[in-house]
Amino acid sequence: MGAERTGAADAIKDLADRLKDNVGRVIVGREQAVELLLAALLAGGHTLIEDVPGTGKTTLARAIARSLGCSFKRIQFTPDLMPSDVTGIHYYDQRAGEFRFRAGPIFANIVLADEINRATPRTQSALLEAMEERQVTADGVTMPLPSPFLVLATQNPIELEGTFPLPEAQLDRFMMRLTIGYPSADEEDAILVRFQDHSPMEALEPVVSAEDMLRLRDLVPKVHCEPSVRRYIVAIVQATRRHPALDLGASPRASLAMLRAARALAAGGGRDYVLPDDAKRLARVMLPHRLILSSQSRLRGRDAAAVLEEVLAEVPVPVEG
């Protein structure tokens, strides 16, 4: 059993290293964001990348997509985008004398939903079934999506005009919400040097196939998680439901996602076991977007990330023995 766990962790780490190196040809720095995004991919979770314009959100998503030998579609979300523009439509083929289905861009392994909060709630809801059940229903006909299927979405949290905030039900379907942040002076100088002649994105080639991704995703559950660490994950999620500053805590979907992501993160780091620190690190990118502050907390200017830090400080960390 131990050898099987070690073999699974080694195989996952090899894939993670190949992806990191390939993405690193385009993205300067941002190792932690890339590491977390790869953990989400290996755990089969969708990711929301939220930051101000120009920090590399779309570039990171495209670099990940190009590194995977999978079909890739990009959807530019705008206020006039219709649900059928995402899922596809049935049309009448006069030559064949029958209705046919023209698949929309959602029928791809990796879907980049760029500026997702610019679409109307009706169009945003077209993603709900696809993200949770990996299928699309159009005109009463249900069609499975290709496997693997992952949504990488971006949004700008600053600009509010012409945007529609994602509802809680959709936010809960994103495994992680990541931020990129501004580069340091040295990193920004390296970006200028790297992009001064041409974009390295043009020469980026796939390093992992869809079949490899599916095979290694099946190995993630083999990474060991001690019962005490598993209960630590449950305790964190449960504590968010009791905190007085929150009207709504994290759901059981968050607990399941944290356990899967913790195993993937551990294996990507070369370990065949999960540490409490993995759970604590993931809580900061997997829980805040699932929490709803009370009206009093909002009036006092508190945010979900700060409340989560209070939760993490209160929940006892399991120790060996």
Residues 170-215 have pLDDT tens digits of: 888 889 898 877 888 888 888 888 887 777 777 778 888 878 888 8
Other beta carbons within 10 Å of 4: 11
Of 7, 4, 31, the residue nearest 270 (C-alpha) = 7
Tell me what percent of the chain is helix, strand and coil, each rounded to the nearest 5.
50, 20, 30
Q: How many angstroms separate the CA atoms of 224 and 108, rounded?
A: 32
pLDDT at 32: 83
The angle at the Cα of 46, spanning 261 to 75, to the nearest 5 degrees, equals: 160
For the chain, strand residue ranges (E) read 46-50, 68-69, 72-76, 88-93, 98-103, 110-114, 135-138, 141-144, 150-155, 174-178, 208-209, 246-248, 292-293
pLDDT band for position 295 (50/70/90)?
A: confident
Of 81, 140, 73, the residue nearest 107 (C-alpha) = 73
Helices (H), the chain: 2-23, 31-42, 57-67, 83-87, 121-124, 126-133, 168-171, 185-195, 210-219, 227-242, 252-268, 276-286, 295-299, 304-314
Q: Which residues face 208 on adjacent strands?
A: 68
Residues 54-104: pLDDT tens digits? 777 777 778 888 888 778 888 888 888 888 888 888 777 778 778 788 888
pLDDT at 287: 93
- The number of CA neighbours under 13 Å toward the Cβ of 293 is 16
- Residue pair 23/150 in contact by the 8 Å Cβ criterion: no
Residue type, 149: F
**pLDDT > 90: percent of the chain:** 16
Q: Note the pTM of the prediction, 2 decimals.
A: 0.84
Q: Which two tokens stand for residue 54?
A: 């120009």
pLDDT band for position 50 (50/70/90)?
A: confident
- Residue pair 191/28 in contact by the 8 Å Cβ criterion: yes
Please tell me the CATH superfamily of domain 2-192+219-314, with its number. P-loop containing nucleotide triphosphate hydrolases (3.40.50.300)
Other beta carbons within 10 Å of 92: 9
Q: Phi/psi of residue 137, each to 5°?
A: -115, 120
pLDDT band for position 228 (50/70/90)?
A: very high
Map out the domains of the chain as residue ranges: 2-192+219-314
Residue 164 vs residues 54, 124, 156, 175, 247: alpha-carbon distances, Å: 21, 9, 11, 20, 22
The SS3 of residue 147 is: coil
pLDDT at 284: 93
Q: Which two tokens stand for residue 295?
A: 């009206």
What average pLDDT does the chain have?
84
Q: How many Å separate Cα 96 from the centre of its chain?
A: 41
Q: Which two tokens stand for residue 200?
A: 């390295």
pLDDT of residue 157 exceeding 80, the answer is no
